[in-house]
Amino acid sequence: MKILLSNDDGYRAEGILRLRAALAPLAEVTIVAPDRNRSGASNSLTLDVPLRVFEPEPGVYYVIGTPTDCVHLAISGLFDFEHDMVISGINDGPNLGDDVLYSGTVAAAVEGRFLGLPTLALSLCTEAQSGRHFESGARVARLLLERLLERPLERALILNVNVPDVPFEQIEGFRATRLGFRHRSEQVIRAQDPRGRPVYWVGPAGPQQDAGPGTDFDAIAAGYVSVTPLQIDFTRHAALPAIASWLDGLHE
Ligand code: MN
């Protein structure tokens, strides 16, 4: 089995190196990841400049580009063989609720959804004072991969996995969850450059709004690994009849 690893924190990030070490006994693992931290890159493709790839060591490639560039390239021409699945992470920080919209970690997994096996996006819920237990994330990845091989799931499925940042023994278990929602983000932070011109920093994500039972937020707060099955279908099917009648007679 051939597994492609990517992330949005860059090819030298602790999370992806731990992931590689944990999965290497189970599969042939290749890393194709951005040259630097591209968190928040979402599903962006670089279309205005060519993509350059470097191989600093065998089986490790970095791309001057986004997470989506990396996986797109890796499954559409960089190699003369096919990978069976993409695993993205382990992200340094949670990807819960609306974070998924901006996440490069999730985007890398999404880009691999047409390969032979479901994709995994893994995030460790690190905070300023938490322990950075990437080894817990790596063990979770391994357990999920083993389960997937034992009991296959449908192919184009994307599993968004968040792991509490605690020692593995303190994890309570696994929960299937839905995405919660956050409140509107905090205001941007205005500052000045050395020449007195205004510059802005995008502020932190908003606090949890829907973090009730069944959500990813709730599972993490209770010490469980949260596993959310994602789908890529932006159509709001329930609104179709209302929009059809709203459009009625518009072009007489
Ligand atoms: Mn990241």
Q: What is the pLDDT of residues 175-202, one digit of tens each?
A: 999 999 999 888 899 999 999 999 999 9
Q: What is the pLDDT of residues 5-29, one digit of tens each?
A: 999 999 999 999 999 999 999 999 9
Distance 84 CA to ligand 1 centre (A): 23
**Can you say how many angstroms the Cα of residue 226 is from the centroid of all Cα atoms in its chain?**
13
Answer yes or no: is pLDDT of 226 > 90. yes
Angle at 125 between CA 110 and CA 202, to 5 degrees: 75
Distance 38 CA to ligand 1 centre (A): 7
pLDDT of residue 155: 85
The helix/strand/coil state of 79 is coil
Residues 6 or more apart whose CB falls under 8 angstroms from that of 200 comprise 188, 189, 190, 191
Distance 161 CA to ligand 1 centre (A): 14
Taking the CB of residue 107, how many other CB atoms lie within 10 A of it? 27
Cβ-count burial of 156 within 10 angstroms (0-12 exposed, 13-18 middle, 19+ buried)?
middle
Answer yes or no: is pLDDT of 168 > 90. yes
Distance 205 CA to ligand 1 centre (A): 14
Answer yes or no: is pLDDT of 206 > 90. no
Q: What band does 209 get if pLDDT is binned at 50, 70 and 90?
A: confident
Where along the chain do its domains lie? 2-180+208-247
Residues 6 or more apart whose CB falls under 8 angstroms from that of 241 comprise none
**2-6 and 28-34 as β-strands: parallel, antiparallel, unpaired?**
parallel
Q: What band does 252 get if pLDDT is binned at 50, 70 and 90?
A: confident
Distance 18 CA to ligand 1 centre (A): 15
CATH class for the region spanning 2-180+208-247: alpha beta
Q: What is the pLDDT of residues 110-130, one digit of tens each?
A: 999 988 889 999 999 999 888
Percent of the chain with pLDDT over 90: 88
Q: Is residue 90 reached through a cis peptide bond, with omega within 30 degrees of 0 on the bond before it?
A: yes
What would the two tokens of residue 91 be? 């992200």
Region 63-71: mean pLDDT is 97
pLDDT of residue 201: 93
Kindly report whether the global pTM for this prediction surpasses the value 0.85: yes
DSSP per residue, 55-69: EEETTEEEESS-HHH
Answer yes or no: is pLDDT of 51 > 90. yes
Q: Are 168 and 136 in contact (CB under 8 A)?
A: yes
Distance 90 CA to ligand 1 centre (A): 8
Amino acid identity of 68? Answer: T
Distance 48 CA to ligand 1 centre (A): 23
Angstrom distance (rounded) from CA 60 to CA 86: 14
